[in-house]
Chain A
Amino acid sequence: MSGLPKKETNVLKGHEGAVLTARFNGDGNYCLTGGKDRTIRLWNPHRGIHIKTYKAHAREVRDVHVTSDNSKICSCGGDRQLFYWDVSSGRVIRKFRGHDSEVNAVKFNEYASVVVSAGYDRSLRAWDCRSHSIEPIQIIDTFMDSVMSVCLTKTEIIAGSVDGTVRTFDIRMGRELSDDLGQPVNCISLSNDGNCVLASCLDSTLRLLDRTTGELLQEYKGHTCKSFKMDCCLTNSDAHVIGGSEDGYLFIWDLVDASVVSKFRAHSSVVTSVSYHPKDDCMITASVDGSVRVWKA
């Protein structure tokens, strides 16, 4: 238990209003946050330094993702478009328009050649970063409700939707697997071994699914998650499940027996986002209270 990041080491302050997303970069040296103040901020969470602010979004920033080489950012938000940024210059390289309403989540693929976005318009869209086309490569709209979260593997696109399904689009096999959880899915998160998917449902339950069989492996309860888009994640060792709560608490469950290992007050308000360091025992949490906190073991 000593390895769990429960000690607050830094508070990243700068956002005005709610912070909606906080994400580590590929190697965990930096983090990006986006919030209601329509900015994306780049931080060094370990030193607590604000490095840069990216402004162009017209409405709140809901999700942000950075390429593994730290050179590009994609972000999305309430203005229905995706922004594709150059990190160092802070300029928008491209804007992808096409979603009919707010865009909830965005991810690069492994080669940073495609951005996949999930929108309130019940669709997933894949956008090309290589060519100059601003039309989506593909639109997946088999969802029946807002798509809240998207994860990419090398061969698959996985997305969770309010219609209660976690759908896996296997590009290599050309098939779609739909796992109906029966509850609106808020956020999905892949385990680090890629075999499981953790889905945060709006019935205040996190569900761990086996990806190959679609079997429900475990349910994690205790927190409150009824109306907000809140992140959940697994630790980098896949030993624990971490999720925020609407009352500002942070819950850490044991992956196997689903017991609450730790529970502490992280923020004064809804914990919107949790991101775990890819290698170290470190995590960042973002909250509606406008702060981003860095936690270490």
Chain B
Amino acid sequence: MATEDDDDFVFYGTPIEREEDTISRKRKSVAEASGQLRTVPAHKQEVRDEEGRRRFHGAFSGGFSAGYFNTVGSKEGFCKGGSYLTPNNFAGWTPQTFTSSRKKRAEIIQQDVTTYLDEDEKAEMVGNSLGTSMQFDTFGFTAAEIARSQSEKEQNQRPSAIPGPAPDELIVPATDPIGVRLMLKMGWRRGQSIKSSKTNARSDARREARKAFLALSEDAKTHASDSKDAEDAIETVAELPIDDISQLPKSTPVRILSCFSCAYVSCHSDFHVYVLNPKQDMHGLGYDPFKGAPEFRDNKRSHLPGNRESGHKRLQPKKDGLFSFKSINVAPGFGTGALEDLDVEDEDVYATGYEFEAFVEEVEEPSRLAIEDKKKPSVKEHGSLPGFKAATSSDNQLERFDPPVVPKDFVPRHKFPVTHEVNRKLTEVPPAEVPPPVDNKLKVLIEGVATLVARCGTVFEELSREKNQSNPLFDFLNGGNGHDYYKRKLWEAREKHNDKTKPFFNEKVIPNAQKMTAESRGNILGEKPLQRTVKDIKTDVPATEVVNLQFHLSDTFTEPLSFVEPTEITKPFQHDPAKQERFEQYLKEKYHGGLRTKDAGGSSKMSEAARARERLEFEAAAEAVTQRKWGKEGQSSSQQILGASAGRGAQASLAEEVIKKSMFPKREEFQWRPASLLCKRFDLIDPYMGKPPPPPRFRSKLDSLISMPDYVKAAKEEEKTNLNKFSSTQADEQNGTNVMDVEENVEVENVERPVDLYKAIFSDDSDDEEESTNTNQPNDPKTKIEVANTALTRIVAGDFLESLGKELGLEVPPDQPYPEKHAKPQPTPKETAQEIQQVRQEKREEIDSNAHKDIKGSKNDTAELDHQIEKKVTKVKRDKNSSEDERSHKRSKRHSRRSSGSDGDTSDSSDGYRDRHRSRHKERKKEHRKHSKHRKHKTHESTSRSRHSADKEYGDGKREKRRYRD
């Protein structure tokens, strides 16, 4: 920096000669070293640093920089505290004279850092401890210092709230010493020199140099006095423990105290401002991050925005000057290391006169850094990105919903509008009371009809009038016999109906419900036409009962049309009973309303398009039916409908497009459980709060296989055989290339309840002995059955495999050895069984013992499993006819044991069993919303399922899996 400013400033004094100095010495040292290395024997060689200084001494010359000016002789200053822990640190030691501890009690030795420091180190570390020789103590500083340190000592011994010397260090006498005051009185002014010439010549030169640099770097304006004065001032101040910086800008009102020492600026006024700058950086004490790279310090400073305190601002140029002058700062506090890279300043380690200069800057450094650090966060706080402003007002303020304004003319009482039909009727004048007709039958009938009409509306009246036109009994509807009575009764019934309350409902229905036999209920609920009841009335069945029945029906079903409709159902799809069933289901849904089961009736077998088409067909048919009914069009409707549907079929391809269009977008609704935390974050109430976690939705059967509970353990034989079956298939398939596909296919098609895959594979049982007993000892009933079962499952599994292979498009030759991809050569089914059984014998025995414990619990599952599998098996069987007798034989045995049968060709008892299971199964399925549908139609599936449907099924399974992953 000095060089930069060369042009602008006038030079005073002698420029420092350090540069040449060091260079020459360096050169010398290099020359010496090279010379020495060649000439001098090893033991005579000297170690010098790169600047040619001899830094290491022999052991007896005091080690590194030891002794008194590199001599052994010491002024007992060296090993005072043993600061260099080398074996030679006794080098300069002088024995103390004995003092009796009797007179003089041992003092409590207060140890602190200074105890272990050299004088010069102390001087570096604590500025205050540096003092002028008393000789120069013009201003009394040193005296004050001594006094203060004395008092400090005393204070230290007393307990103090603030431990440590730090606060004391900050204490500086606020008043000037008497010397200064005297001098001032005598006309001396601060900054003027007191001509004292007794300075060390060498340090004098140094001081001159420093002055020159200071003068250079000083801002000309702040330099109030001339440069001579400045020099003098520096000279004066040089020995004082005051930062020389502080002397110069007199106007600076701030006093800076670093954590190490204080530097103060004396002010014009009598008070001093103490500013405490805590250390805020993360460096160790005294660490200077810019040591050796002062240019970065400048850099850093220049990064700071200009809103610093004016005092600091003023100081800045000054410092720049200083730092440019002293490019490298020595870390204060501790001695210089042996190998530490030191600058020229180091050569003056032993020049006691002016060390503080180095120290001064050190001291200043941390404080400024601290200021910088303090500034930084504040800058970060409000200064975000240039050009970017964070929104001051965010939109997400809570919306406030004011209560609605109540209109002025609002009466806070509710007036019921009298528009209601019933109410209006009530207000009518009641028909006169008429004596009931003589015929008791008629009376009952009239009463019944009246109640019904009251309940269901006049539609019913019209309907029955229409229907019973020819019936003389119903003349009362057309104003004939008993009409008046009917009117009266109708009115009564209506009245009753209107203030009908629960008691009415409960009292009447429940006792009468007993009258209803299952048959009659079935008749009415089912497809039985309504006319029947009329006929019944005509015949023997007591009219009261029938009418009552109808009456209760209407009580239970709110929709009046509901039981009129089925009466008229003709069967437009008679040729296709399944379709007819669906049609009826459709009609039921249409007219009964209520929950619509989307995939009911096995229609899910069909594709979307087909279903939609069928739906359209049904709609047309239903329309036709109703038309015919209401319009009395008669018999031809069936034909019409068929024709219409046929016509539709012709247009199918065109319609399909339209359907596809109309099909999308298709909306589906599922239950979804948001995480409670999600609700919280969205500031919503958890809709499932407090409710138990939803039943785990099995994504796919394969997944659920793994997560199945271990009821398997306590399973009975049936289960085990099933497991065998599975394991065998799986074991066989495992080696195949299409393992996954096959497995999944298996699961999707056959598994109702998940089966533990691993258990199925590894913990399965089989029995070699039992296999043998099968042939040898057919007498033992239990083993026989077991063996039969296992054998059967083996065979079945083999067949099953083949069928699977077919389904997947893999040709599996029935009798040839299985392809190489199966690691294990595939034996005939029987052999497989044998083999596997051998392996699993032990396991089986173990399970056998447990087998009967939990039959009930596992029965459902096993049975279902069985019948599912067997269904499949029979399908397979259709393809393959080998060993038919054997199998059927065994199956019959099996049936005798457990009443779960195979499909169609088996006994009725097994069917009954299965039915039971199916219903139970359905119940359970309600838990699993989505899956239930999926499974249901599976159970309904006939054995003649095509490969296509199987494939589709597989696809569905996959989809399911994905869908229910959570």
Contacts and interface: CB of A to CB of B under 8 A. Distances in A.
Interface of A: 25-27, 29-30, 42, 44, 49, 51-52, 67-71, 87-89, 109-114, 122, 126, 128, 130, 137-144, 154-155, 166, 169-183, 207, 209, 213-216
Nearest to B388: A51
Given A141-B962, A166-B665, 15 more contacts: A42-B385, A51-B386, A51-B388, A68-B391, A68-B395, A87-B385, A111-B396, A113-B681, A114-B682, A140-B966, A172-B684, A173-B687, A177-B667, A178-B669, A182-B664
A169 B684 CA distance: 13
A44 B387 CA distance: 8
A276 to B, nearest CB: 16
Contact of B675 (A110, A137, A177, A216): A137
Contacts of B667: 177-180, 213-214
Contacts of B388: 30, 42, 44, 51-52, 70, 87-88
Given A68-B395, A138-B674, A155-B682, A122 B962 contact: yes
Contacts of B670: 142, 175-178
A144 to B, nearest CB: 5
A128 B391 contact: no
Contacts of B385: 42, 51-52, 87-88
A176 B671 contact: yes
Nearest to A183: B664
Contacts of B682: 109-111, 113-114, 154-155, 171
Nearest to B961: A144
B109 interface: no
Contacts of A183: 664
Interface string B677-697: 111011111011000000000
B378 to A, nearest CB: 14
A91 to B, nearest CB: 11
A182 B661 CA distance: 9
Contacts of B668: 177-178, 180
A221 B1 CA distance: 72
B195 interface: no
B53 interface: no
B963 interface: yes
B962 A172 contact: no
Closest A-B pairs by Cβ, 10 of them: A214-B667, A88-B384, A174-B687, A176-B672, A182-B664, A69-B394, A138-B675, A180-B666, A176-B670, A141-B965
A216 B669 contact: no
Contact of B674 (A89, A169, A216): A169
A165 to B, nearest CB: 9
Contact of A110 (B384, B396, B688): B396
Interface string B393-418: 01110000000000000000000000
B961 to A, nearest CB: 10
Contacts of B666: 179-180, 182, 214
B596 interface: no
B665 A180 contact: yes
> What is the predominant secondary structure among interface residues of chain A facing chain B?
loop
Which of B385, B664, B672 is packed against the most chain A CB atoms within 10 Å?
Answer: B672
A68 B394 contact: yes
B510 interface: no
Nearest to A215: B665
B681 A128 contact: yes
Interface string B304-318: 000000000000000
A157 to B, nearest CB: 9
Contacts of B673: 174
A144 B387 CA distance: 44
B964 interface: yes
Nearest to A144: B962
Interface string B940-966: 000000000000000000010011111
Contact of B678 (A25, A69, A137, A215): A137
5 contacts: A26-B394, A67-B394, A169-B672, A172-B687, A177-B667
Contact of A172 (B391, B665, B685, B959): B685
B18 interface: no
Contacts, number: 153
B390 interface: yes
Contact of B384 (A49, A87, A172, A181): A87
Given A126-B675, A209-B665, A216-B664, A142 B966 contact: yes
A36 B306 CA distance: 40
A216 B660 CA distance: 13
A175 B678 contact: no
Contacts of A138: 674-675, 677-678
Nearest to A278: B395
A173 B686 CA distance: 8
Contacts of A112: 396
Contact of A88 (B390, B671, B674): B390
A182 B675 contact: no
Nearest to B672: A176
Given A111-B396, A142-B963, A175 B675 contact: no
A89 B379 CA distance: 12
Contacts of A49: 387
B285 interface: no
Given A69-B391, A110-B396, A171 B684 contact: yes
Contacts of A126: 675, 678, 681
B380 interface: yes
Contacts of A44: 387-388
B681 A111 contact: yes
B663 interface: yes
A216 B665 contact: yes
A110 B395 CA distance: 9
A150 B204 CA distance: 80
A133 to B, nearest CB: 9
Given A68-B394, A68-B395, A155 B684 contact: yes
A68 B391 CA distance: 8
A139 B964 CA distance: 12
A139 B385 CA distance: 35
A70 B391 contact: yes
A169 B671 CA distance: 9
Given A128-B681, A176-B671, A68 B396 contact: yes
Nearest to B691: A174
Contacts of B966: 139-142
Contacts of A213: 667
Contacts of A182: 660, 663-666
A16 to B, nearest CB: 22
B19 to A, nearest CB: 45
B679 A69 contact: no
Contacts of B674: 138, 169, 171, 174
Contacts of B394: 26, 67-69
A134 to B, nearest CB: 14
A116 B387 CA distance: 29
A116 to B, nearest CB: 9
Contacts of A52: 385, 388
B660 to A, nearest CB: 7
Contacts of B677: 128, 137-138
A254 to B, nearest CB: 21
A140 B380 CA distance: 39
Contacts of B963: 142, 144
Which of B665, B671, B682 is packed against the most chain A CB atoms within 10 Å?
Answer: B665
Given A42-B388, A142-B963, A175 B671 contact: yes
Contacts of A51: 385-388
Contacts of A181: 664-665
A107 B245 CA distance: 58
Nearest to A182: B664
Contacts of A214: 665-667
Contacts of B386: 51
Contact of A26 (B389, B391, B685, B965): B391
B687 A89 contact: no
Contacts of A140: 672, 966
